[in-house]
Structure 1
Amino acid sequence: MMLSYDNRAMAQSVTTTSDHLPLSPTSSTTISSSMSSTTDQPKTKHHHIWLITGPAGCGKSTVAQFIAKAMNLPYIEGDEYHPQANVDKMAQGIPLTDADRWDWLTLLREEAINRLSSGDQGVVLTCSALKRKYRDVIRVAPYYDHNVLLHFIYLHASEEVLMKRVGSRQGHFMHANMVHSQFAALQPPGADEKDVISVDVSGSIEAVEEEALAKIRQAVEQALDRDS
């Protein structure tokens, strides 16, 4: 039986709290190396940040957990790093401003770099990154470490599809009406954003996970070709 996005997230509740109020940064989820995985990320000269992005309801946390487990990589749930003021705003259905996001985005970038600096070959990170300038904050990462390659995995579907998914969630701080505001703010990645991998999430979660993983493996192979 195929699981929906929300049912899959509930089934994985032992490894994530992303469908509930965020925890403190120190409790960020890590997919342990002791867990079974499809395949480890191949060793390359570079370390990789796989940033799973897209508007509310696109399945960022579900897909990120799958990718992290499949490639045996640590996972950072971006929502856990929001300050309480941001959480309170979103719980009231108030969209965040740019000013609300800058420190949060910087913190996510720094945490990803720290994970790689500690020896991890890659890290999986979730962040909506709706606007190009938000993505550009994370894009600074390779300037701090030239061995880092950043990849955005952009999950997308129609507003109608995502509204329905968010509306069915229980206990999440992101309300369905926030999907509309996110689409109003959304700047889909342009053709010149070469570090973006697009995945349509209109289909089943199994199909989305496999497509995302296949495209990530292809990106790793391209990095290996570059290294050789």
Structure 2
Amino acid sequence: MAPVDGTVTPSHHRHIWIITGPAGCGKSTVGRYLAGQLGFPYIEGDELHTAANIQKMASDIPLTDADRWDWLISLRQQAVAAFSTGATGVILTCSALKRRYRDVIRVAAYNKSDVLVHFVYLRATEDLVVSRVRARQGHYMKESMVRSQFQALEEPTEDETDVLPIDVNRTTAEVQTLALELVKEVMAQDTVEQSS
């Protein structure tokens, strides 16, 4: 459990927290909230897409695995680089729809005994996300692209023990609070395991 005062006791690990899920599920909202509450650097995955990728999505053309590969590697590298500032954690938003995409980011912990990778999966129904995207103004992601994301989505499997699912069919404040509680609990548990 997290300390009574709500703070996070520093652990011996550095933590990469990826906020995942299809477009419109609330990744940026939750990610920015967590970064602010925890004092961690924040990386907005959408901002690291190439201009070509953004143009494709704005034109209702789904990205291919090849389109995403360099982007995923860049996200992973940016997350690891954030530790050079002395941060013990970093928050990253990335849809990570397929297991192989999540695996690309998991490489950040390979051969680094002090780095742990976690995914906070914002689970939503297609209808809920479509309704949210319809209400957004000025974003390149359109309803048809959201539907293509659900077609590509590979739900995390039971053996992906680094994935923490959160049902987002609730208020934004409730989702944010639940995400923060989960992150603090995991980091507090890591501290206990390191000290035992």
- TM-score with structure 1 length normalisation? 0.81
Choose which of 169, 174, 179 in structure 2 pairs with 1:207. Answer: 174
Mark the CA change 1:40 to 1:79 in structure 2 (over 3 Å): closer, same or farther: farther
Choose which of 59, 75, 79 in structure 2 pairs with 1:112. Answer: 79
Residue in 1 that maps onto 2:157: 190
Q: Does the CA-based 8 Å contact 1:68-1:123 persist in structure 2?
A: yes
Residue 51 (str. 1) matches residue 14 (str. 2): no
SS across alignment from 1:134:
helix
Q: Does the CA-based 8 Å contact 1:40-1:70 persist in structure 2?
A: no
Q: Distance in 2 between matches of 1:121 and 1:195?
A: 18
Q: Does the CA-based 8 Å contact 1:40-1:72 persist in structure 2?
A: no
Residue in 2 that maps onto 1:62: 29
Choose which of 156, 170, 189 in structure 1 pairs with 2:123. Answer: 156
Choose which of 142, 148, 154 in structure 2 pairs with 1:181. Answer: 148
Structure 2: gaps of 5 or more residues: none
Q: CA deviation at 1:40?
A: 5.4
SS across alignment from 1:150:
strand
The higher relative CO (CA closer than 8 Å, separation ≥ 6) is in 2
- AA of the residue aligned to 1:215: L
Q: Distance in 2 between matches of 1:45 and 1:182?
A: 36
Q: Distance in 1 between matches of 2:143 and 2:8?
A: 35
Mark the CA change 1:41 to 1:110 in structure 2 (over 3 Å): closer, same or farther: farther
Residue 78 (str. 1) matches residue 45 (str. 2): yes
- AA of the residue aligned to 2:28: S
Q: CA deviation at 1:117?
A: 3.0
Q: Distance in 2 between matches of 1:133 and 1:222?
A: 27
- AA of the residue aligned to 1:76: I
- AA of the residue aligned to 1:96: L
- AA of the residue aligned to 1:128: S
**Deviation >2 Å, runs of 4+:** 38-42
Residue in 1 that maps onto 2:54: 87
Residue in 2 that maps onto 1:130: 97
Aligned residues, how many? 191
Q: Distance in 2 between matches of 1:222 and 1:65?
A: 23
Structure 1: gaps of 5 or more residues: 1-37
Deviations 1:176-222 (A, max 9, x none): 11111000000010000000011110110011000111111110111
CA-atom RMSD in angstroms:
1.2
Q: CA deviation at 1:165?
A: 0.2
Q: Does the CA-based 8 Å contact 2:16-2:116 persist in structure 1?
A: yes
Q: Distance in 1 between matches of 2:112 and 2:73?
A: 15
Q: Distance in 1 between matches of 2:54 and 2:111?
A: 29
